[in-house]
Chains A and B, each alone.
Chain A
Amino acid sequence: MTRQEPRGLLGGEQLPGQELPSNQCAEQPRKSTNLSLLGMESPLPEGLRITEALKWFHELKQQFRSLLVYLDLCTKCGVCIEACHWYLGTKDPYNVPAARMDLMRKIYRNYFTVGGKLFGRLTGAEKLTDEMLELWFKYFYQCNECRRCAYLCPFGIDTAEVTIAARQILTKLGMVPEGIMAVAKNMHLYGNNMGIPPKAIKDIVSFMEKELKEKTGKDILIPVNQEGAEVLHNPSSSEFFVTLDTLEGTALMFYAAGTNWTISTDIIETANFGLFFDYNTMKEHNNRLINAARKLRVKRIVAGECGHGWRTWKMFTSRLSQAADLPIVHTIDECLRYIRENRIKLDKSANSASVTLHDPCNMARAAGYIEQPRQLLRNLVDEKLFTETHPNREKNFCCTGGSGQVTMDEFTLMKARAGLVKAQQIKATGAKWVVAPCAICKAELPRIAQHYNLDVEIHGMQDLVGYATVL
């Protein structure tokens, strides 16, 4: 089959990195072989997978109305075809959201609906086979769970719900990408995705404090495990290694506002990879944060920059950990409050580059964080320097790192392809800085920028807060 090269979506501009070898279509995530975290010794052998998969499929559709309704509802109207950046970038027919869902819907019809049992293939019903399970693994791990198709779907059909369910089933069969498994293991052992032990956290923190002293001449502390603090800040572990400016920015913000805050060595991770493959893991991570907050007797949690993490804390905590009494606030909200209460002063002239905003999928579409980042950005950058991407807000495209794909290095070329739309979007703005208030976007966007030779720097929102804070 010949694959048509994707046309430029926005103004038809072809970018230099767009011509890719055609054999990259075979690329897919490597499966993990070490499944001890899931209590499994090895992946299920082929013969046992089908019955086990159907058992868990039944279980999930009894537990999640969303899954059942979305499997039933699609009218195949075709509105989602152009909604998915994976389809736009790869032109792979299975990457049309409705067609991707069909991989699961075919099985659902065959085993769980009267129509499918009576009329079989006429309704699209198909028996579950090992080849189908491999297709599930391939295509449900090519979905970013960004929910752009859900937003554009006339019925609000949420592909992410189906993707999540399919991945749960695959996890029960022992089919988990290596990258995601490694992250989950780090989280389980150390309370962060990068596997930083408590001792190293303290070392990095004292290094950062020194750096802050050099920059500002003031003793700006990053308190660790301080009981009775007002705020427990939960940053992303990447802020300790790669995007140090983000955590330093947050430290500057708290210092300027005079807030008594702390981080906990039990958890320095806003990301919750459990959402991407296993609800048990998601619950464990969630409880970990709540327990850390209870242990340090803080009044509230301020969540750092991470899109899906924020979705989990904001939307799921009350159900997962029954902790409705413990407020969880986003750093953006926290900063906006300080501005409102005149507790910090920001100097816009410190951020003098032209800027555009990337809306992290889970913040914009799942948690309704659309105006807040823009409001904060207006306080950080001169209005004239700011350009919106097109499309923007709820219609913005994903960075292609979502749903755990950020961890899959073996998958880089495919991701670059899916990132074509994002690259075109960024290029069209002409901005020098892309502000992305999400650790995963901050890790993935530089790869896209490198692949397509975009001359941009990727920054977190807190980086800009740090630069602009007047002490």
Chain B
Amino acid sequence: MDWFTFLVDCILPYISIPILVVGTIYRLWQWFRIPLPLRIGLSPISTTQKGIAGRIAAEVFLFRTLFGSERAFWFIVWPFHVAGLFTLGNHVLGLADGLLETYAPSIVIPQVKNILFVIGFFAWLLIAFLLYILIRRLYQVELRRMSFFSDYLAVLLLLGLVSAGAYMAFFTDTDMGAVARWGTGLMTFYPTPVGNMIFSIHFLFAQALFIYFPFSKLFHPLGQITSRLMTQKEELLNPKGMVVK
């Protein structure tokens, strides 16, 4: 299966990552090129720049509205996103640690391994949350009625991603140094495969999500900001006024 790891580790990233970047910019451009002719304020409306920034930050980082409208669900959703963020951060930390180990072993901080280990457990939390979200969608009648395959796909992809990652971290002995070397190789356009099947499966899920992200409901963090800007900020309106046909 060498061809599989080579394809996933060394070829596909040059397709999936540009799709992620260009796709994200394209989607935002698609939204922001369209005018917004009327003031569609939605309470509470801030009038100062600071107020608007604060309100949007509260929405993006604290899910303020959800806290007010369905608090029980907030206690699932917010910790889920935070756990996801920490897990992502852990990847950066792990890669940095792996790089140091390979290229400058003298300055490796031993305690970092402990942090990596502890935050690693968040993966199980993520799996639990994802399963809950999936079961909720299947269990609640009205929610199931209005869900399409694409509504399940995002959760299934994430479940695959996290399960493979957790399996790799807890049940296999993955050489983080090799992963770090592959990462630098990827950035300098001389990639060498990690040569680890389970890593490739994990990374395949990640790339599927890279490609899927701009064109799916996973785009909602950027949608959140766009949506709140529309109901808060008047300056973003089309200055020419509305064209009525």
The distance in angstroms between the C-alpha atoms of A101 and B234, with both chains bound, is 25
The contact string, 1 if C-beta is below 8 Å from chain A, for chain B 211-240, is 000011101100110111011000001000
A81 touches B223 (CB 8 A): no
The contact string, 1 if C-beta is below 8 Å from chain A, for chain B 31-48, is 110111111111111000
Q: Which of A71-79, A250-258, A449-457 contacts B (4 or more CB under 8 A)?
A: A71-79
Instruction: Kindly state the interface size class of chain A when it binds its partner.
Output: 35 or more
The distance in angstroms between the C-alpha atoms of A366 and B45, with both chains bound, is 9
Identify the closest chain B residue to A318 (Cβ): B39
Query: Which listed residue, B30, B31, B146, touches A76 by the CB 8 Å rule?
Result: B146
The distance in angstroms between the C-alpha atoms of A158 and B150, with both chains bound, is 22
Q: Given the known inter-chain contacts A99-B142, A319-B237, please indicate yes or no for A158 contacting B149, CB distance below 8 A.
A: no
B150 touches A66 (CB 8 A): no
Q: Please, which residues of chain A bring their CB within 8 A of the CB of B44?
A: 368, 394
CB within 8 Å of A: which B99-151 residues: 136-137, 140, 142-143, 145-151
Q: Please, which residues of chain B bring their CB within 8 A of the CB of A435?
A: none
Total of A-B residue pairs, C-beta within 8 Å? 162
Q: Please, which residues of chain B bring their CB within 8 A of the CB of A96?
A: 142, 146
B242 touches A68 (CB 8 A): no
Query: Which listed residue, A77, A93, A122, A155, touches B224 by the CB 8 Å rule?
Result: A155
A320 touches B148 (CB 8 A): no
CB within 8 Å of B: which A320-334 residues: 320, 322
- At the interface, yes or no: B63 with Cβ under 8 Å from chain A? yes
Q: Given the known inter-chain contacts A74-B217, A96-B146, A99-B142, please indicate yes or no for A153 contacting B43, CB distance below 8 A.
A: no
CB distance from B102 to the nearest CB of A (A): 40
Q: Please, which residues of chain A bring their CB within 8 A of the CB of B61?
A: none
Q: Please, which residues of chain A bring their CB within 8 A of the CB of B145?
A: 93, 99
A315 touches B40 (CB 8 A): yes
Query: Which listed residue, B32, B137, B223, B237, touches A72 by the CB 8 Å rule?
Result: B223
Q: Please, which residues of chain B bring their CB within 8 A of the CB of A70?
A: 227
- At the interface, yes or no: A338 with Cβ under 8 Å from chain B? no
Q: Which of B64-72, B90-98, B171-179, B181-189 contacts A (4 or more CB under 8 A)?
A: B64-72
- At the interface, yes or no: A410 with Cβ under 8 Å from chain B? no
Q: Please, which residues of chain A bring their CB within 8 A of the CB of B1?
A: none
A366 touches B38 (CB 8 A): no
Q: Please, which residues of chain B bring their CB within 8 A of the CB of A78?
A: 136-137, 140, 142-143
The distance in angstroms between the C-alpha atoms of A279 and B242, with both chains bound, is 9
The distance in angstroms between the C-alpha atoms of A75 and B220, with both chains bound, is 7
- At the interface, yes or no: B14 with Cβ under 8 Å from chain A? no
Q: Please, which residues of chain A bring their CB within 8 A of the CB of B217?
A: 73-76
Query: Which listed residue, A81, A319, A370, touches B143 by the CB 8 Å rule?
Result: A81
Most buried by A among B146, B223, B241, B243: B146
Q: Please, which residues of chain B bring their CB within 8 A of the CB of A66?
A: 36, 40, 230
A-to-B contact residues, CB < 8 Å = 59, 61-66, 68-70, 72-79, 81, 83, 93, 96, 98-99, 102, 113-115, 119, 121-124, 147, 150-158, 161, 279-280, 283, 315-316, 318-320, 322, 364-368, 370, 394
**Contact sample, A vs B, 10 pairs, CB 8 Å cutoff:** A62-B34, A72-B31, A102-B146, A114-B215, A123-B148, A153-B65, A161-B40, A318-B39, A364-B43, A365-B42
